C-alpha cells in the first residue's frame, strides 16, 4: 500500500533548507526509497512549509528513515526550523490521480475520432497549441506551424474522402504519444489531381504527438501515401 509522510515546519531560512534537501538527494542517491516529493509554501504564512513525501509502502519509508544520511540531514533540518517539525503518516486508501500519459493518449484518440473522423473542427483550438509545429512527409512543405495547418488538412481530407480510422495501438513515453492506425475511406472528391472514383481505399500509418500542458504542441505523420495513390490509379483494393 502506498504510504505518504507529511512534514510540517516553520522556518525563516528556506534557502538554507532547500540546499539541505538537495544535499540529502545527492547523499542518498541509490539508497533512498522515496518515489516523489513536493514542497508547498503557505500563502497565508510565508514561513510555513509543508513537504509531502511518497513511498511505495510504510516499510519502505521506515528503511528510508534509518539511513545514516537521513538522520544527519534531519538533525540539520531541525536546527533551521523555528520549532520541531511535525510528521503525519498516512496510508493511501484512495488515489484517483490520472497520469499525464493517460490523458495525452485520450486526447490523441479524440483527434482521430472526433476531429478527423467526425469533423468537429471546433475541438482543434482545444487540443492543439496555437504555436503547433506540424511535420508531414506527404506535403511539399513538410514542416509548418499553427493550428490552421491541422484545420486545413482535416478539411481537405474530409472533402476528398468519407473515412474512418482504426486505432491499433498507442504508446506513451513522457510527453509523446505514438498512435498506429489504419485509415479506410471512400474517394468522393478531388485528391491531388485525382477526380472522385467512389473507390474504397486504405492506408496505414503512425502519428506521434508531443504534448505541452495537456495540448498537442508538435506532430509527426508517417503514412503510406504511395499505396493510396496506387489504389486511386489502379482501382479498388
CATH of 3-91, one of 3.30.70.100, 3.10.450.30, 3.40.50.1950, 3.30.465.10: 3.30.70.100
> What is the dihedral sign for C-alpha 20, 26, 32, 38?
positive
Q: Where are the domains of the chain?
A: 3-91, 100-234
Highest mean pLDDT: which range of 1-10, 86-95, 146-155: 146-155
Average pLDDT of the residues in 219-225 = 95
CB 86 within 8 A of CB 190: no
**Average pLDDT estimate for 39-61:** 91
Alpha-carbon distance of 18 to 39, in angstroms, equals 10
**Looking at the predicted structure, is the pLDDT value of residue 97 above 60?**
no
CA-to-CA separations, 104 to 84, 100, 213, in angstroms, rounded: 42, 6, 10
Same-fold call for 3-91 versus 100-234: no
Residues 154-162, mean pLDDT to the nearest whole number:
95
Name 174's Cβ contacts closer than 8 Å, sequence gap at least 6: 101
- From the CA atom positions of the chain, what is the Rg in Å? 27
Predicted model pTM: 0.60
pLDDT tier, 237 (very low <50, low <70, confident <90, very high otherwise): very low
Question: Got the DSSP string for 73-122?
Answer: HHHHHHHHSSS--EEEEEE-----PPPHHHHHHHHHHHIIIIIIIT--GG
CATH number of 100-234: 3.10.450.50
What confidence tier does 98 reach under pLDDT thresholds 50, 70, 90?
low
The CA distance from 133 to 142, in Å, is: 10
Amino acid at each position: 500500500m502506498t504510504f505518504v509522510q507529511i512534514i510540517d515546519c516553520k522556518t525563516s531560512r528556506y534557502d538554507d533548507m532547500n540546499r539541505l534537501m538537495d544535499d540529502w538527494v545527492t547523499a542518498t542517491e541509490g539508497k533512498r526509497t522515496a518515489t516523489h516529493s513536493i514542497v508547498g509554501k503557505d500563502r497565508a504564512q510565508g514561513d510555513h512549509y509543508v513537504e509531502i513525501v511518497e513511498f511505495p509502502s510504510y516499510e519502505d519509508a521506515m528503511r528510508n528513515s534509518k539511513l545514516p544520511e537521513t538522520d544527519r540531514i534531519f538533525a540539520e533540518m531541525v536546527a533551521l526550523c523555528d520549532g520541531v517539525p511535525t510528521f503525519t503518516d498516512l496510508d493511501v486508501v484512495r488515489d484517483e490521480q490520472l497520469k499525464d500519459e493517460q490523458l495525452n493518449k485520450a486526447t490523441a484518440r479524440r483527434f482521430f475520432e472526433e476531429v478527423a473522423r467526425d469533423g468537429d473542427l471546433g475541438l482543434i483550438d482545444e487540443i492543439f497549441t496555437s504555436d503547433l509545429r506540424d511535420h508531414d512527409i506527404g506535403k511539399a512543405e513538410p514542416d509548418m506551424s499553427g493550428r490552421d495547418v491541422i484545420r486545413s488538412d482535416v478539411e481537405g481530407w474530409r472533402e476528398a474522402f468519407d473515412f474512418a480510422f482504426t486505432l491499433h495501438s498507442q504508446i506513451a513515453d513522457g510527453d509523446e504519444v505514438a498512435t498506429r492506425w489504419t485509415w479506410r475511406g471512400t474517394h468522393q472528391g478531388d485528391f491531388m489531381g485525382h477526380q472522385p472514383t467512389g473507390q474504397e481505399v486504405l492506408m496505414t500509418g503512425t502519428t506521434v504527438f508531443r504534448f505541452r500542458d495537456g495540448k498537442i504542441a508538435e506532430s509527426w505523420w508517417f503514412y503510406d501515401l504511395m499505396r493510396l495513390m496506387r489504389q486511386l490509379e489502379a482501382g479498388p483494393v
